[in-house]
Amino acid sequence: MKALEKFMQKMKPSADGKFPIAHAVWDGTYTFLFVPGHTNKSGVHIRDSVDLKRTMIIVVMALIPCLLFGMFNVGHQHFLAIGECVAGDDVCGMFWDKFLFGAMKVLPLVIISYGVGLGVEFIFAAINKHAIQEGFLVSGMLIPLIVPVDIPWGMLVVAVIFAVVIGKEVFGGTGMNILNVALVTRAFLFFAYPTKMSGDKVWTDVSLEEGQTLIDGYSGATPLGNAVEGGVNAIPSIMESVIGFIPGSIGETSVIAIAIGAILLLFTGIASWRIMLSTFVGGYVMCLIFNAVAGDNLFMAVPPLHQLAIGGFAFGLVFMATDPVTGTQTNSGKWVYGFIIGFLAILIRVANPAYPEGMMLAILIGNVCAPLIDHVVIQSNIKKRLKRVKTA
């Protein structure tokens, strides 16, 4: 490592040279590989061995189970669609065929996401003459996990550029954005290219080679799409939903893979357990309300745990509602913030027949409300303390 550091130091370009982007790229690479030497020395500052890049890397590590499972599931769903494996049979049959097929479909999306997003950040870093910011390390991994596997590459490029420029850089960069960058990407795709982000044909790769055909009766519908029409009887069992061998966005189908990431984030203290728990409670309460007034509406009658196990609820709860930049900062505010997201996610999902998924919109609404929630909490605390002072 010392030899690598010496090599990096020899390659260091001038920050005031003709090519400022070269220094930005060097600085980003150097601080990614080594702990920066410019730490605070003053006793009034809290010092920690984990800087922002290390925090972001831990979140990326927490996403790896979802990425790997998503790759395998993409291949599994493809071979189900063409009839080369049968639902209910040995899922791990043709394991490497499925995994390699999925990897060939998913990795280009990851490369595009990071390549385009970091490219935009490099340009802004060079223009503004500041260090490359770390926030996109996580957004770059989140974006490919929340889109359909067959999303056209050109659309993804446009969406990532829009999200980084409009969703983050115009507000001042990492730490200043008010909306989750990955969700801005998905929202842009949803509203700009709705046919590529909804329906039954976008969630499973059905590219066919010569001699291959889709099996009779194949639909490609997600459990949420089926639940709208047939309720709980039309979707996989709760165990199948938790395991995740179902159609859906690349990284959102397996609650088990998501839970592994959640454990890492909670163990390291990076994600807020208050937001996770309150989001779950908010969604559960809304499910109970719908169950109580369901009547003949089969979608409303889906049991709470089953409702929360399908769609993007679990993924959004763990990886996006807990975003420390766009979420609330006060402990009391985190309870309110999470509850609003969970409550609205199920409300939008069930009450809006045109969009049987509500986590994206619920989190974006929560992001917008977060500053107000914190303001109310802080003002409430100030009033309580002033009353104590007057009483004393």
Residues 169-218: tens digit of each pLDDT: 888 877 788 999 999 999 999 999 988 888 777 888 877 766 677 776 67
| DSSP string computed for 166-233 | HHTGGGTSTTT-SS-HHHHHHHHHHHHSGGGTSSSSSSS-----TT--PPTT-----HHHHHHHHGGG
Backbone angles phi, psi at 365, to 5 degrees: -65, -40
Cα 343 to Cα 173, 242, 318, 324, 376: the distances in Å are: 30, 21, 15, 20, 20
Token pair of 338 as six digits: 């999470």
Give CA–CA dist 159/182, Å, rounded: 10
pLDDT score at 16: 57
Q: Are 358 and 348 in contact (CB under 8 A)?
A: yes
For 11, residues 6+ apart whose C-beta sits below 8 A from its C-beta are: 26
- Residue 345's SS3 state is helix
pLDDT score at 14: 60
Give CA–CA dist 27/25, Å, rounded: 6
pLDDT digits (tens, 9 = 90+) for 110-157: 999 999 998 898 888 777 776 666 778 899 999 999 999 999 999 999
Higher pLDDT, 256 or 30: 256
Q: Is the pLDDT of residue 39 over 60?
A: no
pLDDT digits (tens, 9 = 90+) for 81-91: 888 776 666 67
Cα 73 to Cα 77, 93, 114, 186: the distances in Å are: 6, 12, 22, 21
